[in-house]
Amino acid sequence: MITPKRIQVLDTQVDCINMTGALKYVDHHILTGNKADTILAVNPEKI
């Protein structure tokens, strides 16, 4: 599994990932049985 590039936007860590990458990430964790991750979609207006 490739770790996406992480940047900081106004003191918030954000992974640079597109929809395809997000789906691959979720797929990988479902197939491996990893239930420890959390995925959030950050609303830019809330940062």
Give the model confidence (pLDDT) of 9-32 as tens digits: 888 888 888 889 888 888 888 898
Contact 42, 12 (CB under 8 A): yes
Report how far residue 46's alpha carbon sits from residue 24's, in angstroms, rounded to the nearest whole number: 26
* Coil vs helix vs strand at 28: helix
Residue 36 pLDDT exceeds 70: no
pTM (global) more than 0.85: no
Residue ranges per structural domain of the chain = 6-46
